[in-house]
Amino acid sequence: MLNSMPPLQWLATFQAVIESGSFAGAAKSLGLTPSAISHQMRALEGMLGQRLFLRDKRQVTPTEEALAYATTISESFARLVAATNRLATGAGARRLPIHCSPSFATLWLVPRLKDFMREHPAIDIALFASHEPARLGQDGILIDIQYARPVPETCEAIVLADETIVPMASPAFVAEHHIGAIADIGRVPLLHSLRCVVQWPQWSARFAPGLTLNPRGFQFDRAHLALASAADGLGIVLESTLQARAYLDQRRLVLPFGEVGIPVVAHRLIFRREDDGHPDLLAFIDWITRALRAEHPMAVTR
């Protein structure tokens, strides 16, 4: 275990390398020389005891550990920026810190935040997105919108919507490959949304037993990437009707076999019981449950 934190300058440099994709790009953005960037990164690797980059003569490639570390650092820097802005602009601002799974934030929440702002102009939302659960009460986060995670014993949970995991594809892909029957899945590329609670083997075991799935296809660790790729015609994706609502409404994706899917309960809004009376938390819960009821006719339950 380290006895001290790495210097913030090293971490900022590391983040710049990840964002720019090279030591030269980071050097340009920070006003340093590439050799200075390289020196700081080797010092950081030495302090952490971890190799962060694979180096060859022409490029540097971050390791998987480096990418995971960068995600955490990015969230921490975002909190520092938010805290600094809050202090600089005065204590009168009301900010509601929310943590959310990345795809729900991208596909559903962010496109509707303007509606929340109209109803509650005095509340500013600070939104943080990652797959790791928030440490409610430790990071200042009041709300965590989680995907397929157990509810902590100290928390209350609201099921946000019933979801159906169902095959989807672009209309052009369906027409090009003459897809009309479930058996056609066996001859076209499949897209794998790796974090989806239902995967292709589970779906096919229920609706197409004995069908040999096409081994070809792309894999994605974010639902929004899988859905965007399906809309671009790369294959058939198995994903949630909740996540894909905008794609379906705009006919960028269609259900080639109808709603032949598996119902799941996956997205939950989590908050600590001791925060139950917080007015901004209650305002957000009231807004999001009404918005989801309007789009998905089901009872949001606590």
Work out the pLDDT band at 140, boundaries 50, 70, 90. Answer: confident
pLDDT mean over 223-232: 96
- Whole-number Cα distances in Å, 22 to 19, 58, 60, 104, 233: 8, 9, 6, 30, 31
Residue 49 corresponds to which tokens in the numbers above?
Answer: 């005891």
pLDDT (tens digit per residue) in 40-69: 999 999 999 989 999 887 788 999 999 989
- The proportion of the chain whose per-residue pLDDT surpasses 90, expressed as a percent, equals 67
Q: For the chain, report the end-to-end CA distance as a whole number of angstroms.
A: 40
pLDDT (tens digit per residue) in 232-290: 999 999 999 999 999 999 999 999 999 899 999 999 999 999 999 899 999 999 999 99
What was the pLDDT predicted at 126? 92
- The pLDDT of residue 162 is above 90: no
- The Cβ of residue 94 has, within 10 Å, a number of other Cβ atoms equal to 12
pLDDT (tens digit per residue) in 91-114: 556 789 999 999 999 999 999 999
Work out the pLDDT band at 17, boundaries 50, 70, 90. Answer: very high
pLDDT mean over 71-78: 81
Work out the pLDDT band at 301, boundaries 50, 70, 90. Answer: very low
For the chain, domains (ranges, CATH) are 1-92 (1.10.10.10), 94-158+266-295 (3.40.190.10), 163-264 (3.40.190.10)
What was the pLDDT predicted at 270? 95
- The pLDDT of residue 300 is above 90: no
Enter the pTM of the model. 0.68
- The pLDDT of residue 302 is above 80: no
pLDDT mean over 162-189: 95
- Candidates 238, 243, 228; CA nearest to 191 is 238
- The pLDDT of residue 296 is above 80: no
Average pLDDT, the chain: 89
pLDDT mean over 211-215: 89
What was the pLDDT predicted at 215? 84
